[in-house]
Amino acid sequence: VRDARTAPFFDAAAAGRLAVRSCTACGRLLPPAAMACSACRSPALSWAEVSGDGSVVSWIVMHGRVPTGSPEGTAAPTAVIVTVELAEGPWINGRLIDATADDLELGSRVRVDFHRPAEGAGEPIPVFRLMR
Ligand SMILES: [Zn+2]
């Protein structure tokens, strides 16, 4: 959700760049949702842009419900949520696109991309694409 704290994240996402938190006290890079530094506990965080490259450390498959009124035999929707260790260090979660859980291995290389909702339907959100 966009607010004064998250606006820089969404502004970067709109420009196709991934932003993470950066501790102004010790320089450690932290996940976008971090509220304080995990190393030195400082709450003074700024934003830093990262490459968006990383490797998969874990994933979960979320199973949806078949929409009411779907034709017989419609498969339930699934989404794969990957936890990615960015090349710069922080971990971030995002949906895996253009691949399934069968394509994943621990350490699979991924790169961030941005899912852009229709105009007025929300902010761009980071997703991940396998690098093959
Ligand atoms: Zn720190």
CA 63 to centroid of ligand 1, rounded, Å = 37
- Digitized pLDDT (tens) for each residue of the chain, 132 residues in all: 889 989 999 999 999 999 999 999 999 999 999 999 999 999 999 999 999 999 999 999 999 988 889 998 888 889 999 999 999 999 999 999 999 999 999 999 999 999 998 888 889 999 999 998
CA 22 to centroid of ligand 1, rounded, Å = 8
CA 31 to centroid of ligand 1, rounded, Å = 13
Strands (E), the chain: 18-23, 29-30, 45-50, 53-63, 78-86, 91-97, 109-115, 125-130
CA 127 to centroid of ligand 1, rounded, Å = 27
pTM of the model: 0.88
Give me the pLDDT at residue 13, please: 95
CA 38 to centroid of ligand 1, rounded, Å = 7
Interatomic CA distance for residues 100 and 106, integer angstroms: 14
Interatomic CA distance for residues 100 and 23, integer angstroms: 35
CA 97 to centroid of ligand 1, rounded, Å = 33
Give me the pLDDT at residue 132, please: 81
